[in-house]
Chains A and B, each alone.
Chain A
Amino acid sequence: MTHPAALPCAILAVVLLAALSLFVGVTDIAPMDVLRGQADARQMQVLLASRVPRTLALVLAGAATAVAGLVMQMIVRNRFVEPSTTGTVESAGLGLLVVTVLAPGMPVMGKMLIASLFALAGTALFMRILRMVPLRDVLLVPLVGIMLGGVIGAVTTFFAYRFDLLASVGAWSMGDFSGVLRGRYELLWLAGALAVAAYAAADRLTLAAMGRDFTTNLGLNYRSTMVLGLIIVSLVSATVLVTVGVIPFLGLIVPNVVSLMIGDNMRRTVPWVAVMGTGFVLICDILGRTIRAPYEIPIATMLGVIGSAAFLFLLLRRRHHAAP
């Protein structure tokens, strides 16, 4: 059990991180100057056109990616999955490639929709495979997902190679916030809204996570709840992919950490997952902007390094306390 003040404290910490994020960058902007109104026009422009959008994008993408990971774990009923290990992100990437080849001029919203449809189809395929294969070991589920993702990724790579688009695919698969500017990230508000939707549907998703029979007995439509979860996961994956690229590991680690802390009731965990996802992404991005300043290290690299270490720690820790 956590202390009642824990969540407000965590939120405060993330707000402070977000404030710090506003003042990290190539241009020198002092917080006091801005508060006193002494910042010059150029500093204000950098703040409004680059810093604020970047911080908002980090908050929205971080929260939504982590929550999408949680929802994925709920609907698959497995703790070791997230959209980038179940074929969802790979399918969205394939969709994005198809749009790029067939209708390169399509507006971003259209691209995102097509990517979402592919993500939906890929995730549904994953669920279908899970239902057909009797899986006794929990670790087989992520393995199946990783294999499916590998197959879809291979198809994407093949066509990207054929159409000379390997570079674009490489860029999508590398999450990076350096290109975020006013006017270039707003799609992420949709991802944020979906995280809120996940919160609203938290009770239903928690029930659905307990299985089809249990859910049906309680008078809840299992199928529509699953579809809702799938739509949240697919849309979040597609919006984040289209705007900043793949953010790996986040959806896996954060829900696991939160589950260790406060259990599995989604109504209670969603705020925590959102807050910790945001904090994690903010820390990684601030470090990525600082280590090689004035150049940047993409967030995907930072998360890959920090995230894989954190995940190993989680796994090894669990082994210690293993209660079969």
Chain B
Amino acid sequence: MRMKLGAVLGGLCLAVAGSVSAQSITIPHRQGEVTLDSRPERVVVMDWANVDNLDALGVSILGVPGSNAPEYLSKFRSDDYLKLGSLQEPDVEGIAAADPDLVIVAARSRQSQPQLNRIAPTVDLSIDNDDFIDSVTANITELGEIFGKEDRAAEMNAELRSKVDRLHDAVQGKGRALTLVTSGGKIGVYGPESRTGWLHKEVGFPSVLDDVDDRSDRGDAASYEFILETNPDWIFVVDRDTAIAAEGGQAAAALLDNELVHQTTAWKEGHIVYLDPQKAYIVMNGYQAVSDLLDQVYEAVTADS
């Protein structure tokens, strides 16, 4: 009896203390908003871009996707992190068992938000391709606020902005660019509306085309003649197979090594850039990925000037 009373009293004290120290946090996201009673500590992230962001912010993560972990985030492959399903299909039971106080979904897992939200507060931090950099920095700012890392978030965003500005200046007068995606021996083209559209919209690289949308993740199918006719000054290549299988990496280069592509300005000038496929295809919009891709393009563009 006494023990029980003690427990009740203790619980009361804790509850009072809790309600005093914690302020509730409201997080707006792409599919509504959720309210948390306190700063989340057990965080499940079903999207590599946001794992990337939280890692850069220095926030600890409880569980991550069990598939497609990019090389630069390979520490999340270890058993220290719960593996909660694939990038496309979160393991709902596993997430329920992990008892998280915040779940983050985005892009490939965003459709699970309503379902996961019944288990734990779940936010959809997908970005808006139309407003790429703003969207990425908004995510970072939001994560910074949620986890009390506002200063680091501001620092990261400032760095991203300066890299975008630097690249924007560097691409002036460098000609027009085309982004290709290669998959299973076929090529597709990505335009300004696609997942690499920021190269055109934000960085200001003129595109050789303006009417392609990203309705298929392999881009719009195109022939080598198409590349020859559009004759881009720069070709950026996303090797989808390598991104997914993380092996080889010669596939795309071998595909493009043919007599029609040899006629393009991009080939003659050596302006074919193989974007880091995991960062460009799998992660797409995490802080480190974007930062590294901006660097990669900057180095390529300034290499011969």
Chain A residues proximal to chain B, CB less than 8 Å: 25-27, 42, 45-46, 49-50, 104, 163-172, 176, 178-179, 181-184, 289, 292, 294-298
Q: Looking at chain A's contact residues, is the secondary structure mostly helix, strand, loop, or mixed?
A: loop
Q: Is the CB of B260 within 8 A of A50?
A: yes
Residues A25 and B223 in contact, CB atoms below 8 Å apart: yes
The answer to whether residues A295 and B184 also contact, given A26-B223, A42-B263 and a CB cut-off of 8 A, is no
Cα–Cα distance between A167 and B240 once the two chains are bound (Å): 8
Beta-carbon nearest neighbor of B240 in chain A:
A167
Please state if B246 and A50 are interface contacts (CB–CB under 8 Å).
Answer: no
25 A–B contacts, CB within 8 A, in A order: A25-B223, A26-B225, A26-B226, A26-B228, A42-B228, A50-B225, A50-B260, A104-B248, A167-B240, A167-B241, A167-B244, A170-B184, A171-B185, A172-B184, A176-B186, A181-B258, A289-B223, A294-B222, A295-B221, A295-B222, A295-B226, A296-B220, A296-B222, A297-B221, A298-B221
CB <8 Å contact, B225 and A176 = no
Contact A296 B223, CB 8 Å, known A46-B260, A170-B184, A179-B186? yes
Indicate if the CB atoms of A171 and B226 lie closer than 8 Å. Answer: no
Inter-chain contact B245/A296, CB cutoff 8 Å:
no
The residue in chain B whose Cβ has the minimal distance to the Cβ of A297 is: B221
Contacts of A164 in B (CB 8 A): 68, 244-246
B183 surroundings in chain A (CB, below 8 A): 167, 170-171
Residue of B185, B229, B244 with most partner-chain A CB within 10 A = B185
| Cα of A184 to Cα of B185 in the assembled complex, Å | 11
A45 nearest in chain B by CB position: B259
Contact: B220 with A179, CB < 8 Å? no
Nearest residue in A to B246 (C-beta to C-beta)? A164
Give the CA-CA distance A144 to B240 in the complex, in Å. 35
B248 and A178 contact, CB distance less than 8 A: no
Which B residues are CB-close (under 8 A) to A49?
258-260
Q: Judge if B102 is at the interface, Cβ distance under 8 Å.
A: no
Question: B289 an interface residue at 8 Å Cβ cutoff?
Answer: no
Q: Top 10 nearest A-B pairs by Cβ distance? A: A171-B184, A295-B220, A26-B225, A296-B221, A164-B245, A178-B223, A26-B229, A26-B226, A168-B184, A27-B225
Which residues of A lie under 8 Å from residue B238 when comparing CB positions?
A: none
Sample of 9 further A-B pairs with CB below 8 A, known A46-B225, A178-B222: A49-B259, A104-B248, A167-B241, A167-B245, A171-B184, A172-B184, A181-B259, A289-B223, A296-B222
Distance between Cα atoms of A297 and B220 in the complex (Å): 8
Task: Please give, as numbers and ranges, the residues of chain B lying within 8 Å of A171 by CB-CB distance.
Answer: 183-186
| A179 surroundings in chain B (CB, below 8 A) | 185-187, 223-224, 255
What chain A residues lie within 8 Å of B25 (beta carbons)? none
State which residues 235-283 of B face A: CB under 8 Å: 240-241, 244-248, 255, 258-260, 263
Chain B residues within 8 Å of A178, by CB? 186-187, 221-223
B92 neighbours in A (Cβ, 8 Å): none
> Would you call B245 and A25 a contact (CB within 8 A)?
no
When distances are taken between beta carbons in the complex, the residues of chain B under 8 Å from A26 are 223, 225-226, 228-229
With both beta carbons as reference points, the residue of chain B lying nearest to A163 in the complex is identified as B245
Q: In the complex, which residues 144-179 of chain B have their Cβ closer than 8 Å to any Cβ of chain A?
A: none
B189 beta carbon closer than 8 Å to chain A = yes
B13 within 8 A of A: no
Report yes or no: B245 in contact with A181, Cβ–Cβ below 8 A: no
**Is there an interface contact between A166 and B244, defined as CB atoms closer than 8 Å?**
yes
Determine whether B212 belongs to the interface, using a CB cutoff of 8 Å to chain A.
Answer: yes
Could you tell me the distance in whole angstroms from the C-beta of B241 to the nearest C-beta in chain A?
5
Residues of B within 8 A of A295 (CB): 189, 212, 220-222, 226
- Closest beta carbon of chain A to B214's beta carbon, Å: 13
Q: How far is the CA of A295 from the CA of B241 in the complex (A)?
A: 21
CB neighbours of B185 from chain A (8 A)? 171, 179
CA–CA, A164 and B247, complex, Å: 10
Q: Which of A172, A181, A289, A294 is within 8 Å of B260, CB to CB?
A: A181
Q: Which of A42, A50, A289 has the most CB of B within 10 A?
A: A50
The chain A residue sitting closest to B241, CB to CB, is: A167
Complex Cα distance, B187 from A100, in Å, reads: 19
